[in-house]
Structure 1
Amino acid sequence: MDPADEIAHDFPPFFRVYKNNRVEKLTGTPFIAPSADPIAVVLSKDVVVSPDPKISARLYRPTASTAGKLPLLIYIHGGAFAIESAFSTLYHTHLNALTAAAGVIAVSVEYRLAPEDPIPACYDDCWETLKWVEKESDTWIKEYADLNRVYLAGDSAGANIAHNIAVRAGVEGLGPGLKIVGLVLVHPYFEFGEPGKLWMYMCPGSSGVNDPRINPAAEPDLLGKLVCGKVHVCVARDDGLKGRGVSYYELLKKSDWSGDVDIFETQGEDHVFHLFKPDCEAANKFVLLLASFF
């Protein structure tokens, strides 16, 4: 049999790898261009954060004039570290709605995906994007964003990345011109026991259950390093990951971290429902809830 047709690793519904190292992504949503319509409520554009490694982002800003600069939201998409994109219809729709409702400048990170670029590429790319923001590398950030009011947010695997970036910022420090004030974790993906085969394949250097990137309980002292003063955890009642979000919330409450953490549960909904059903009443209410945090 041709190696191109022989499966070496299979991780449905995300991807499979063939014996010739070809990667086939099994799911995902179409890309959509940014909006340059001057009468739109929100404008967006794509920017290059780094040419090597290749990191990009989609920026969003409300078109309505304001008296001063706006909070800045760095958003990290989900997708099991392996699928989806800042440029997909799912995330473009969500960031348009959230930017409008919250009145923020948003930076949606297009980080490298596993397994083509194994973890920690995703963490490193989001960290580089944070440093890029700190340098006010784009005119929208320089003209419209208040870098003393920066928020990190993400859903599922993106929430995991957002947490780890907030920890890294606390450990390594940030420049005096940037302050992260809040962290929003939507239906976060963590493992509080031995990680599954998917994580271990995508992160070949992981120590498994002792890796604090996937298991925050492995090194609880790191929770005290969270750079922000408030954390908002969102879970959904019918989500298989609900318990992990609750465990994170309880772990953070018991830690040495001195900030404020709260948790919100959406009744009758599943994992990232607001992305797949953006026009439903529950999704509209959820976006307003998120907006109230910023």
Structure 2
Amino acid sequence: MSSSTETEITHDFAPFLRVYKDGHVERLLTTPRLPPSTDPITGVQSKDVVISPDIDVKTRIFLPKMDELDASKKLPLIIYVHGGGFCIGSPINIVTQGFLTPLVSQTPAVAIAVGYRLAPEHPLPIAYNDCWAVFQWITAHANGSGPDSWINDYVDMSRVYLVGESAGANLAHYLAVQAGVNKIGLRIRGLITLHPYFAQKEPDKLIKYLYPGSSASNDDPKLYPGADPDLEKLSCPKVLIVVAEKDFLKPRGIDYKETLEKSKWEGIVEFMENEGEDHCFYLFNPFSEKAKGLIQSLISFVNQ
């Protein structure tokens, strides 16, 4: 779109989207996408896969540097779901690479950054369906004969961790529940929700636009765990919930903690707060000492 005026804007969902009368969607937060590569410092390799022709979105796999001594040792698998309000973000951008590269190299672990189609062009619940399709593709490797050699050769499918931030935490939680509902053939050891987004009583205008079939409030079981009759089937023994002191979503993370503790799910909740920090600070300043400290906390959780 060559030019626009305020009168042409029909919706302004800062800092995510602006929507114009002609249907054009402007994404306000974009980051460069990177080709798969080998990181020159850590040796972490990456490659892209397209799970299905029906889901024309790349999923990226990250592999730590392997030498002859550890090549036979199977590693934990981190399944990562990016955030961005269901409408921005990518598994193949510089932000995802900056987050996963140190996590993969220092844990060490294999990571899969899940690709899903973005709303509003692909309205919710399409993102949930896409994430579940990627998850099912991953479970096809449970017997060591799946379609991807990196997963077959290097992943211990009995040590799987789901990780997501913001809206991605909501999607990761959904996968953990659906894994229990459907009794999938791999072992999820833990779920990490970073600065999680969940709905509240007051409908969210952005979510209502992105998810026309939903109330966009806390009576939708996809958006709010307390409304989900399958919550007790959450398929992991422990959940780490991380909130940030200055984040407007902090109360939702606390509510998620209390919801899990009051539910019939029999796992353990671990909770931590990033003092003095705002929403997803570690993605935008990954070299800060607090970001490095958070990565170490995630590594400890995976390697417990």
Aligned: 1:157 with 2:162? no
Count, aligned residues: 290
Q: Deviations over 1:92-149 (max 9, x none)?
A: 1111011112111100012111111111111111111111111232110010011111
Match of 1:132 in 2: 137
> Aligned with 1:153: secondary structure?
strand
Q: Structure 1 vs Structure 2: percent identity of aligned residues?
A: 48
State the Cα distance separating 1:225 from its structure 2 match.
1.2
Matched-pair contact (CA < 8 Å) for 1:50–1:56: no
CA contact (8 A) 2:257 2:269 kept: yes
**In the aligned structure 1, how far is the partner of 2:32 from the partner of 2:273?**
29
Change (3 A) 1:43 1:211: same
Asked if 1:171 is matched to 2:181, the reply is yes
CA contact under 8 A between 1:36 and 1:45: conserved in structure 2? no
**Structure 1 CA distance, aligned partners of 2:16 and 2:39?**
34
Once residues 154 and 244 of structure 1 are traced to their aligned partners in structure 2, the CA distance between those partners, rounded to angstroms, is 15
- Please give the alpha-carbon distance, in whole angstroms, between the structure 2 residues aligned to 1:206 and 1:181: 31
1:199 is aligned to 207
Shift of 1:39: 7.3
Aligned residues: CA RMSD: 1.8
Separation in structure 1 between the aligned mates of residue 28 and residue 267 of structure 2, nearest angstrom:
40
Q: Which moved more, 1:209-218 or 1:95-104?
A: 209-218
Deviation at 1:41, TM superposition (A): 2.7
Matches within 5 A, 1:1-294: 6-36=8-38, 40-65=42-67, 66=70, 67-135=72-140, 136-174=146-184, 176=185, 178-209=186-217, 210-219=219-228, 221-294=229-302
Letter of the aligned partner of 1:160 in structure 2? N
Q: Distance in 2 between matches of 1:166 and 1:149?
A: 14
**Which sits farther off after the overlay, 244-253 or 38-47?**
38-47
Aligned equivalent of 2:143? none
CA distance in structure 2 between the partners assigned to 1:26 and 1:95 by the alignment: 23
**Matches of 1:194 and 1:40, distance apart in 2:** 45
SS at 2:11 equivalent: strand
Distance between the aligned counterparts of 2:161 and 2:76, measured in 1? Answer: 8
Residues 31 and 94, structure 2, Cα contact 8 Å, conserved in 1: yes
| TM-score when normalising by structure 2 | 0.91
Q: 1:55: how far off?
A: 3.1
- 1:238 corresponds to which letter in structure 2? K
Indicate the SS of the match to 1:110.
coil
Contact kept, 8 Å, 2:238 with 2:269, in 1: the verdict is yes
Contact 1:167 1:223 in 2 (8 A): yes
2:93 partner letter? S
Answer yes or no: is the 8 Å Cα contact 2:32–2:94 preserved in 1.
Answer: yes
Q: Amino acid of the residue matched to residue 21 of structure 1?
A: G
Q: Distance in 1 between matches of 2:191 and 2:176?
A: 8
Q: Which runs of 5+ in 2 are unaligned?
A: 141-145
